[in-house]
A and B are shown apart, each in its own frame.
Chain A
Amino acid sequence: MAVQWRRCWRGHGAVRGAIEAVCGVNRRAVTVLERGAGAGGLVTEVLLPVRHTHTSINPSMFTRSRSRFLPPVARSCCCCCRIHSDTKLKDPFSLAQEDLKNLYEDIKKLLVSKVELKALCDYYFDGKGKAFRPMIVVLMARACNIHSNRGGDLLPAQRSIAMISEMIHTASLVHDDVIDGADTRRGKTTINEMWGERKAILAGDFILSAASMALARIGNTTVVSVLSQVIEDLVRGEFMQLGSKENENERFKHYLEKTFKKTASLIANSCKAVSILVNSDPEVHEIAYQYGRNVGIAFQLVDDVLDFTSCANQLGKPSAADLRLGLATGPVLFACQQFPELHAMIMRRFCSDGDVDRAWRYVLESDGVEQTSFLAQHYCHEATRQISRLQPSPERDALIRLTELVLNRDK
């Protein structure tokens, strides 16, 4: 027991250190995580000398139901919003709907090309996507506009950023699917499966060039730099995914950094871009960026959890897809602290016979899923803390509400 506890604790320390190093989280947020980590390792609760400070979370609360999973701080924050008026906390999707009307049509207008290329480019802009990124971007834009006393109206350039964010995201999906050899995406046959790998990659390049042109037409060099960073991060993130680290501490740091680059950078920098377009205060840019970064990382952590918990067809891809691709995500890395047998499997990227099944069982036996969820919650809490620094507005509150939706989504 004691040996296992020590192993857990060392692990949590490593995670905490990594988060601090990678993300520069402030002390308060880390304390929340620490508590969570303590509650997560059931054994720890008994052994930690400071357990009396943990009364707010106890192991019995620790069920799979994620609504009961919110830390007290995040909850109290939502409560104060509710005090104003419950109806004010509008659903982010309906609040953004008006701005996102015709978004996909407008994107398709940017993709000017001949018949075949046009068909490939338009393929994923069929209006059936969640438009998750554009939604955050327009809500952030309006929240920043109100904060800057510019009224809530969306600037045309801000709407362009919403479109560009979706285009960059789609272009990267097209390339990812070739790299992973995926045959379905969002319930559709992938472009590479339909038209071949070569055309798929070139179509991805084409979407990127159209996005880059739209970005340039905004005419703001800072905004161009901010979003070019995203493209670099996406590629570096993909490269990071090729390698695994031998050292446990480094491995977690690597994972969080990769998660930032592959998922969060796009959201963070798009949010920053819309804030730059309306406000010259660097502090506002930082709030927008930090909100996007934290929500983005949380979004991906939940995605990694769902890879283990959701049924095969809910996410539009088979479960344990990451393991099959040789990727060790949050749940596996946490599980490895309890089951060191996973270490060798992680290093050989689950390529031996039965590795995927064995790893899968270890993860579900461990509290890796809970720990990852808790980490996601921590990032959402930080996102909420950041965005709360803006002047109140329905859009700002919708962004707060969105953090809950990110945690509670099941697909």
Chain B
Amino acid sequence: MAARSRLALLASLGPPRRGLRSLSLFSGTSPSSWSKVVSDAEKIVGYPTSFMSLRCLLSDELSNVAMHVRKLVGTKHPLLNTARGFVYDSKHNLQMRGLVVLLMSKAAGRSGSPSDALLPDMISGIYPSQRSLAEITELIHTAFLVHRGIVNLKEWTFSDGPLKDMQFGNKMAVLSGDFLLANACTGLAQLNNTKVVELISSAIGDLVQGVYYENSNSTEQGKLSVASWKDQVFLSHGALLAKSCQAAMELARHNTEAQTLAYEYGKHLAFAHKLNSDLQPFMKSGSGPAVFSLDSAPVVFHRLIVGHEIWTHQMHQAQNSTTQTDFSKLWTGIRSGGGVKQAVDLCTQHGNTALEAIRRFPPSEARSALENIARAVTRF
């Protein structure tokens, strides 16, 4: 099948529906300034497209899946939306992690260590291995989105549509996620650096632990604390970016200090970004959004501030009228409390820590772009 028709096949899945779980994790900040920050940054690293993910997308295996996924159109399997995201997600979001890794590589430049001379030539200031790493980071992130969208068939109800569709969707999700992960594995092996293989493999483990953590947090409400919230956010959001940034330094033979700084930047940027997107529903004036996550930072902090009793009371009130939770009532309660402010402060704090880390690198275009990104995620 020609590449063009494969893309057409993927495109036939239709545009993503608004309001559904979005693939993008960097979609929170105000669109105009954010787009500018990103498109400026993309120019700095040469070409923004991830060839490895494109290769995967156009492979026989995934186009096979795309063919099958079309059968899922009209069903409620989450894979459908994830797949739509491959093609339709506003282009600046899907490959943000890769972009940060590339900028970090360029900002750090050559290490000047003796083994530096053995490395192949840079392409617009970035080693080929660092470009591969950026792509691997994207593959892992995408694979994980696909796998965490797998549906538990025992929780299936009639409103989800035919059970057969869900089974089929699961099968496709398992296979395509595995395919992306396998490509990430072989890509990692080709980097010829076992330290990087270990670091990135551990990030895959972190992502899994993050999901398990999430589940236990929302069920065992007693154990909730800022510390456990931080642990969970690190595993689910910070670890992959932090470790990829560190690995990019290792690939250019940079010393431990540079590796630590890169790690810190990646970690704190991810935290600031997570807080930023969690805060979005609470930044609008007027009435609240139809729905927001009860695990998002402002809600978690609000619960900790008001205490278990008041929170249970507020939840009870919100659930009083109908069987469904009245989110606008809850929203008003949370907005008037201190949780939102705490989350904003924490976001700024993480953004500043990320800025401090990146400013230890020599000034350059790439460094400025990373500074702009860190500033953009703390802007509301």
**How many A-B residue pairs lie within 8 Å, measured between CB atoms?**
136
Residue A97 CB within 8 A of the other chain: no
A197-B153, A202-B211, A242-B64 are contacts. A213–B202 as well, Cβ < 8 Å? yes
Residue A175 CB within 8 A of the other chain: yes
The answer on a CB contact under 8 Å between B208 and A205 is yes
The answer on a CB contact under 8 Å between B186 and A198 is no
The answer on a CB contact under 8 Å between B148 and A216 is no
A114-B212, A202-B211, A235-B175 are contacts. A225–B189 as well, Cβ < 8 Å? yes
- Shortest CB–CB separation between residue A248 and chain B, in angstroms? 22
Residues of A within 8 A of B171 (CB): 178-179
* Those of B146-201 within 8 Å (CB) of chain A: 147-148, 150-155, 167, 170-171, 173-175, 177-179, 181-183, 185-186, 188-190, 192-195, 197-198, 201
Residues of A within 8 A of B46 (CB): none
Q: How far is the CA of A288 from the CA of B178 in the complex (A)?
A: 28
The answer on a CB contact under 8 Å between A213 and B205 is yes
If over half of A's interface residues share one DSSP class (helix, strand or loop), that class is named, otherwise mixed; here it is helix
The answer on a CB contact under 8 Å between A228 and B185 is yes
Q: How far is the CA of A202 from the CA of B150 in the complex (A)?
A: 9
Q: How far is the CA of A113 from the CA of B210 in the complex (A)?
A: 11
A228-B188, A239-B175, A242-B64 are contacts. A205–B181 as well, Cβ < 8 Å? yes
Type the 1/0 row for B97-134, where 1 means its CB is closer than 8 Å to any CB of A.
Answer: 00000000000000000000000000000000000000
Residues of B within 8 A of A220 (CB): 194
- Shortest CB–CB separation between residue B308 and chain A, in angstroms? 23
Q: How far is the CA of A217 from the CA of B197 in the complex (A)?
A: 9
If over half of B's interface residues share one DSSP class (helix, strand or loop), that class is named, otherwise mixed; here it is helix
Residue B10 CB within 8 A of the other chain: no
Residue B204 CB within 8 A of the other chain: yes
Query: Which chain A residue shows the least CB distance to B173?
Result: A201
Residue A13 CB within 8 A of the other chain: no
Besides the known contacts A197-B152, A243-B64, 16 further A-B residue pairs in the complex with CB atoms under 8 A apart: A196-B152, A196-B153, A197-B151, A198-B151, A202-B147, A203-B208, A205-B208, A209-B202, A212-B198, A213-B202, A217-B198, A221-B192, A232-B183, A235-B61, A235-B178, A236-B61
Minimum-distance CB pairs A-B, first 10: A196-B152, A216-B198, A212-B201, A228-B189, A216-B197, A209-B204, A209-B205, A206-B208, A235-B182, A225-B189
21 contacts between A and B (CB under 8 A): A113-B205, A114-B209, A175-B174, A178-B171, A179-B170, A197-B153, A199-B212, A202-B148, A205-B181, A209-B208, A212-B201, A213-B202, A213-B205, A216-B198, A225-B186, A225-B189, A229-B186, A231-B181, A231-B186, A235-B178, A235-B179
**A interface, CB within 8 angstroms of B:** 113-117, 175, 178-179, 181, 196-199, 201-203, 205-206, 208-210, 212-213, 215-221, 224-225, 228-229, 231-232, 234-236, 238-239, 242-243
